[in-house]
């Protein structure tokens, strides 16, 4: 038996269009629905979505021990899968839950407080609250958290994740700590050592819920099947690749069809994109912020050279063009936004191809015939924004 405790939320995304009842705990439960495990789900959900939950319990075969609330279901609204969501329907007062079970997968919640007591516990603190602060107890504890959560809980905001992981393992009295670091993979701290777990390459990336899947699979492999934490985390990373590519639940078996990505110490990304209109500039700014968040070294002509206009001198124009070409030569990857057939962007793509650079093209609403010159020559073309950001960071 595995008891899954955590949030059950309505998730909406503007682009690409998506609307589902999941949240961390329900997604984890559905992900493991065909693994031969008896799973009990605990949490709260609004009255208007309780029947949906009952339907999913029958479809995925889990025991539904969720409390039906008179309050509305908490809603997460994303613009894209990579943007921070707006959160709606948060209650004025949190409900306090207590769970006592042998094997527990516990996701931190924003609408409830929870105190768990278990033998084997996997804790994913999505509300930035340390396990010790929840007053919970575990004989064997594994904590899985992303870089931002690790920094917040450790109260350290540097990038020394090795030292942060060791600190958390000690302060939280955890047997295992796993720090997920986006496109760079994860670090598993176990016994007195640590090991890097790679990300596995996919053709498409759907990121909403990928962290939930990692924790769910880790709990299955570590708690139920008693694999060591390194093996459990490796299997979890492969399963995340399956989920990101297909969004399929329950999870399918990967059969090792994904290749591990060798993380570079420094990944230099050049942004090629028009930036004439306000919408262009906002989009380039969002791309740059996300690439930096993924720990890339980024060159953006708009940010690093500024805007040129009719008053710009020929000398300044020449200097800007020469700098652009130099930065393309220095970069590892060029992320190009094909929008409106901008001549400057098309030239930058061609120059990068001639220099043997890896090129990721984000092309929305294009005909196949318009892209034939870019195919099969070291270019990867996608119409998905999230996929473009991840591929540029690999």
190 shares a domain with 46:
yes
Domain boundary pick from 182, 216, 246: 246
Q: How confident is the model at residue 246, as a pLDDT?
A: 93
181 shares a domain with 137:
yes
- Residue 261 forms part of a structural domain: no
54 shares a domain with 195:
yes
The mean predicted confidence, pLDDT, of the chain is 94
336 shares a domain with 204:
no
- Residue 253 forms part of a structural domain: no
Q: How confident is the model at residue 256, as a pLDDT?
A: 64
306 shares a domain with 171:
no
Q: Which domain holds residue 317?
A: 268-393
Closest CA to 78 of 181, 208, 180, 204: 208
CA distances from 243 to 5, 236, 299, 318, 392 (A): 21, 10, 31, 47, 20
- Residue 363 forms part of a structural domain: yes
212 shares a domain with 91:
yes
- Residue 168 forms part of a structural domain: yes
- Give residue-wise pLDDT tens across range 136-173: 999 999 999 999 999 999 999 888 999 999 999 999 99
166 shares a domain with 298:
no
CA 73 to chain centre: 23
- Residue 258 forms part of a structural domain: no
Domain count for the chain:
2
Domain boundary pick from 213, 246, 279: 246
- Give residue-wise pLDDT tens across range 148-158: 999 999 999 88
- The CA distance from 235 to 290, in Å, is 27
239 shares a domain with 99:
yes
311 shares a domain with 221:
no
Domain of residue 165, CATH code: 3.40.1190.20
287 shares a domain with 241:
no
Domain of residue 351, CATH code: 3.40.50.450
Query: What are the phi and psi torsion angles at 363 (to 5°)?
Result: -130, 110
Q: Give the lowest-confidence range in 104-108, 116-120, 255-259.
A: 255-259
225 shares a domain with 110:
yes
- Residue 139 forms part of a structural domain: yes
197 shares a domain with 299:
no
Closest CA to 9 of 106, 81, 90, 114: 90
pTM of the full predicted structure?
0.93
* Residue 121, pLDDT above cutoff 80: yes
């Amino acid at each position: 038996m595995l008891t899954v405790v955590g949030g059950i939320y309505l998730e909406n995304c503007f682009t690409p269009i998506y609307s589902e009842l999941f949240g961390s705990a329900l997604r984890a439960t559905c992900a493991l629905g065909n693994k031969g495990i008896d799973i009990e789900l605990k949490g709260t959900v609004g009255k208007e979505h309780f029947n949906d939950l009952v339907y999913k319990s029958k479809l995925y075969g889990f025991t539904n021990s969720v409390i039906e609330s008179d309050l509305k279901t908490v809603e997460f609204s994303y613009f894209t899968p990579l943007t921070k969501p707006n959160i709606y329907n948060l209650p004025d007062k949190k409900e306090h839950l207590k769970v006592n079970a042998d094997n527990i997968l516990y996701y931190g919640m924003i609408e409830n407080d929870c105190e768990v007591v278990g033998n084997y516990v996997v804790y994913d603190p999505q509300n930035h609250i340390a396990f010790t602060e929840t007053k919970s107890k575990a004989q064997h504890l594994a904590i899985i958290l992303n870089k931002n959560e690790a920094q917040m809980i450790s109260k350290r905001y540097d990038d020394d994740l090795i030292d942060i992981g060791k600190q958390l393992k000690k302060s939280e009295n955890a047997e295992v700590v796993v720090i997920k670091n986006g496109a760079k993979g994860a670090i598993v701290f176990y016994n007195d050592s640590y090991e890097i777990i790679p990300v596995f390459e996919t053709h498409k990336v759907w990121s909403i819920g990928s962290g939930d899947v990692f924790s769910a699979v880790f709990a299955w492999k570590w708690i139920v099947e008693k694999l060591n934490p390194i093996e459990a985390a490796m299997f979890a990373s492969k399963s995340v690749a399956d989920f990101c590519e297909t969004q399929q639940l329950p999870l399918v078996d990967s059969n090792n069809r994904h290749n591990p990505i060798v993380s570079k110490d420094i990944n230099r990304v050049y942004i090629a994109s028009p930036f004439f209109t306000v919408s262009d500039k906002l989009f380039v700014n969002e791309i740059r912020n996300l690439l930096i968040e993924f720990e890339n070294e980024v060159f953006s002509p708009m940010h690093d050279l500024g805007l040129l206009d009719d008053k710009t001198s020929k000398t300044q124009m020449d200097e800007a063009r020469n700098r652009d070409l130099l930065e393309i030569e220095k970069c590892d990857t060029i992320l190009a936004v094909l929008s409106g057939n901008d001549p400057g962007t098309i030239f930058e793509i061609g120059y990068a191809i001639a220099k043997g650079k890896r090129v990721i093209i984000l092309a929305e609403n294009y005909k196949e015939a318009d892209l034939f010159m870019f195919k099969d020559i070291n270019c990867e073309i996608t119409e998905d924004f999230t996929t473009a950001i991840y591929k540029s960071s690999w």
